[in-house]
Amino acid sequence: MGESTKLVGVSELGGSGVTTASTRHGRLAVGIAGGTPFAVSDRCRHLGASLGEGRVTEGGCLECPWHHAQYDVTKGTMTRGPQGAVFFPVRGLVRLFTNTVARLKRYPVRQRDGELHLAEEDGPDL
């Protein structure tokens, strides 16, 4: 295994399954979804909420804390647009925009010894 940087201890994820970590790539949302560790851009593509302050759903998606948009962290795509009656007319457009030109950047993460590590030799997987 090449060089790596510790992001967080698994115990730091708490019940939400996600937290934030500062890296040379900026602030990332880091967690475990469906048993697989992940690190993605921290900002929701809808209105910029910190995804690291959200939660991992039972279905393994990362959910935004503000309007409950959901992301597939393995692809960086939005699987569900922002929720709430006010967003009903635009949720499809937000999702289309996100999935076409503004997917979450994904970063390679390894889990070892109770910690999540960012593989330094790799950049984002766009």
In a domain, 62, yes or no: yes
- Residue 125: pLDDT above 70? no
In a domain, 120, yes or no: no
In a domain, 119, yes or no: no
Residue with tokens 């697989």: 36
First and final CA of the chain: distance in angstroms? 22
117, two tokens: 């590590």
In a domain, 23, yes or no: yes
Look at the chain and report how many structural domains it folds into.
1
CATH code: domain of residue 81: 2.102.10.10
pLDDT digits (tens, 9 = 90+) for 32-91: 999 999 999 999 999 999 999 999 999 999 999 999 999 999 999 999 999 999 999 999
In a domain, 86, yes or no: yes
In a domain, 54, yes or no: yes
- Structural domain boundaries, residue 11: 4-113
pTM attached to this predicted model? 0.91
In a domain, 126, yes or no: no
Check residue 120 and give its pLDDT: 72
Check residue 4 and give its pLDDT: 83
Query: Dihedral, CA atoms, 92, 49, 62, 95, nearest 10 degrees?
Result: 10
Check residue 3 and give its pLDDT: 72
